[in-house]
Structure 1
Amino acid sequence: MTSDVSQPKADPTPAGTDLFDPLGVDWTPVSPRLASARLTVTAIVLGPLLIGTVALAALTGVAWLWSLPAVIVLLGVWIGLLVPRQVRALAYAERADDLLVRRGILFQQLVVVPYGRMQYVDVTAGPLARKFGIASVQLHTASPATTASIEGLPPQEAARLRDRLASRGEARLAGL
């Protein structure tokens, strides 16, 4: 007589593999200076709001208006705790045929860009990014949905990555 008890199915993924952390991939983290730059932007935005709401509450004398500066301070503290973790979660990896870009804590994202699909590579650095010594590399493909960007790279690394990705893209494109 056979048993109707079904056997547990084997997991198709090997032990130790993760959807957002493939085996054998050496991730390169971005510069921690990106966190400082993002926190500076937060202070630039929230600072005047805090001053304005404190002035409004103090000048009007309405007690419930003091909740506005409190909310802004709590938002600033939350952002101050979140941003460094977000920056630590940013990383990229160069493989033989593609570039991987990983980001996110709660909502994780892994973008795989094949070198043969790249059309061009941008390096950008605004005034604040230059002040903190960081730059961004953005990869453009034929599909707008597969563009990827890597923020917070030291300028020398951004230039190296731009040149390397462009040459790999040209080599893959020439092989088509």
Structure 2
Amino acid sequence: MKLNPTLIAAILLGVTVIGTAGFISIGAITHRMDIPTFISSWSTPQILVSDLAQGKLKPVLLIDVRSPEEFAEDRIGRSQLVPLTEIETGLGISQVQKIAQQYEQKHQTQPTIVLYCTSGMRSTKAYKLLAGTGLKFVVLTGGIEAWRRDIPAVKDAGIFAKVE
């Protein structure tokens, strides 16, 4: 029996499409993101909890893009709150620029702004909206959930005394 090359190519293409769709869906689900945000997160600069905690990025300024209620429950170090909802309206963009400008005036250096949320979806969206401002941004991989798995709140001040 002779195999039809067109049929083989069609089967391989189908398997590739199904496999890729499955990979993207599983990744989006495990990272608790919608599929477009998960895909865009691949090109978003990120920093791991361990790298941030070890001071591999200095100086840093933390911006929490969650809701005020979430911020009141827990936050990382001396983070400042600029909710994603405000960034989406444009008001938050100017807030972030003002926070960065104040930091630069006080410390005479431009910080890298670490955006974080609960798990990464909102901070990835915020990054996409803030990327054109000329400031340096990264997203904390896994958000505050990943941070708290590794770092208890009582250690935040000591860690950030070295990197802010």
What TM-score do the two structures reach when normalised by structure 2?
0.27
Higher RCO (C-alpha 8 Å, min separation 6):
2
Give TM-score, length-normalised by structure 1: 0.26
More strand by share: 1
Q: Which of the pair has more CA radius of gyration?
A: 1
Q: Which has the higher helix share?
A: 2
